[in-house]
Amino acid sequence: MDEPSMAELSISGKKLASMPKDYTGISFEQPQLYNPAYFSAANVTLVTAYKKLSSHGILRAGGHLSDVTRWQGLNGDFDSPRQRAGVEKGKSYWEWKLTDSSVRENKGGAITPEAIRNLKGFLDATNWRLIYGLCFGSGSPERAQDEAAAVAKIMGDRLLCFQIGNEDDQFHAMPQFRDASYNFDAYFKEYREFVDAVRRSVPEAKFGGPDVATNLDWLLRFAERKDNDAIFLSSHFYAMGPAQDPRMNAAMLLGPNERLEHQIEQIHQAVAVSNLPYRMTEGNSCFGGGKPEVSDAFASALWGADYMLHCACAGYCGVNLHGGGDGYYTPIAIGPDLSTELRPLYFGMQFADQFAGAEFLACTLATSQVISQNVTCYYAQRDHEKLLALINKGAASLSVKLPGELAHRVTEERRLSAPSIASQTEVRFEAVLPRTKGQVTVSAYTAVLLAWR
């Protein structure tokens, strides 16, 4: 076995950002609510999975299917030609794979107050809160007003905010929603109509937006509008894609991502203009449902841990990774009889969430040899606790010398590991006997979390 490369960790006093306690989030396709039994306190295994993932998470109901949902409230379903056309067209979307089998078999179902009540029970049981998407693509202000009133009344303080629409910057290419001339000005006019309608029934309603897919010019223009009524800015991010492209593999996923760095620069501009925080409300490893043997393998866990920590250091107030059903990239898959299957990405998210409530300080790895860009480090402090994550996304082990302030024996040591980056099972995020003192070796394709108290 080759000797590991050597590196030395340096920590500066430069403060980067703090990870909010509710940083970790999951996003799901809204028609999953057609089955009231899924997000329910009675779904004990799912409740347990969410509680172990985060003690203060944010659940986001949205996705591509959110714009083709039906709402069946006490005042009817607010059917219209646009909604009928949207629902019918939506039955051909691939995203139904991200719902359970009972929902896929009843694509003409509806969200009901019963589902919202059960969702409230689920959120109470997990101590999570909710971002609720209102149907914008095929819906109407009248429907939004009725639906929001019911959701707000049932959810109470479990409701963080509403979102109006999903990836509206792509509507110009979706004739079932809008025509080819659709632009930001047309969008924002309609957005205000929906906000005003919701406020007529829920005067204290809060919103997040604009929830764009890729057009961050829309994000900046939204930020510049002082009447945006948002409590945070939002957009989406998929690390790679489309899934059918053979170049989308584990090496690409784990390598540097210039597009992410460019997006962070644009987000910083929008945040500076608006003085609002930013949340990534939908994203994952590979758009189009994920890449088999990559998005559902251990490579996704290492990517997820690194991505979430990187975004936290960049000042994001949260990250909601998308999933549901038995999609390749889902953190939690739905099995037979609503059983819960934890996929590798889940454990990467769990790793990152260990930094919730901590403040990051800049740190670097230095060596006389070339250190792969696939090795990253994150250092943070929380109360009287010091935390260090070392994530090795490369094929060679690395031995890291720790600075003087971390040279004493660690209090807690956890490792995120699997037999290989292709492993779909046997993924572990577990405590090991804390032996590290002054130096730590991080094996290939492994992440280490150290804590000093």
Confidence class for position 3, pLDDT limits 50, 70, 90:
confident
Mean pLDDT (whole number) for 320-346:
97
Residue that finishes a domain, picked among 353, 379, 398: 353
Question: Is 433 in the same domain as 294?
Answer: no
pTM above 0.85, yes or no: yes
Domain containing residue 443: CATH number: 2.60.40.1180
Question: Is 308 in the same domain as 404?
Answer: no
pLDDT of residue 95 exceeding 90: yes
What one-character DSSP code corresponds to residue 95?
G
| E strand map for 144-277 | 159-164, 207-212, 230-240
Beta bridge partners of 324: none
- pLDDT the model gives residue 261: 97
Tally the domains of the chain: 2
Mean pLDDT of the chain: 96
Question: Is 198 in the same domain as 331?
Answer: yes
- pLDDT the model gives residue 407: 86
- List the domain range (segments joined by +) for residue 35: 21-353
* First-residue to last-residue Cα distance in the chain: 34
Mean pLDDT (whole number) for 94-101:
97
pLDDT of residue 369 exceeding 60: no
pLDDT of residue 1 exceeding 60: no
- pLDDT the model gives residue 194: 98
pLDDT of residue 81 exceeding 90: yes
Residue that finishes a domain, picked among 337, 353, 369: 353
Domain containing residue 48: CATH number: 3.20.20.80
Question: Is 226 in the same domain as 288?
Answer: yes
pLDDT in tens, 422-449: 999 999 999 998 877 889 999 999 999 9
pLDDT in tens, 245-276: 999 999 999 999 999 999 999 999 999 999 99
The sign of the CA dihedral 329, 349, 406, 409 is negative
Confidence class for position 368, pLDDT limits 50, 70, 90:
low
Question: Is 344 in the same domain as 447?
Answer: no
Question: Is 211 in the same domain as 346?
Answer: yes
pLDDT of residue 179 exceeding 70: yes
Residue in 298, 288, 281, 313 with CA at minimum distance from that of residue 377 = 313
pLDDT of residue 281 exceeding 80: yes
Mean pLDDT (whole number) for 89-113:
96
pLDDT in tens, 296-326: 999 999 999 999 999 999 999 999 999 999 9
| E strand map for 175-317 | 207-212, 230-240, 278-286
pLDDT of residue 2 exceeding 70: no
pLDDT in tens, 119-142: 999 999 999 999 999 999 999 999
Question: Is 43 in the same domain as 169?
Answer: yes
pLDDT of residue 21 exceeding 90: yes
Confidence class for position 185, pLDDT limits 50, 70, 90:
very high
- pLDDT the model gives residue 150: 98
Question: Is 250 in the same domain as 366?
Answer: no
Question: Is 349 in the same domain as 445?
Answer: no
Question: Is 376 in the same domain as 436?
Answer: yes
Question: Is 317 in the same domain as 368?
Answer: no
- pLDDT the model gives residue 427: 97
Question: Is 9 in the same domain as 33?
Answer: no
- pLDDT the model gives residue 5: 87
Residue that finishes a domain, picked among 287, 320, 353: 353
Please state, in angstroms and as integers, the Cα–Cα distance from residue 379 to each residue in 53, 210, 309, 353, 417, following that order: 21, 32, 10, 14, 20
Contact 450, 387 (CB under 8 A): yes
pLDDT of residue 371 exceeding 80: no
Mean pLDDT (whole number) for 271-283:
98
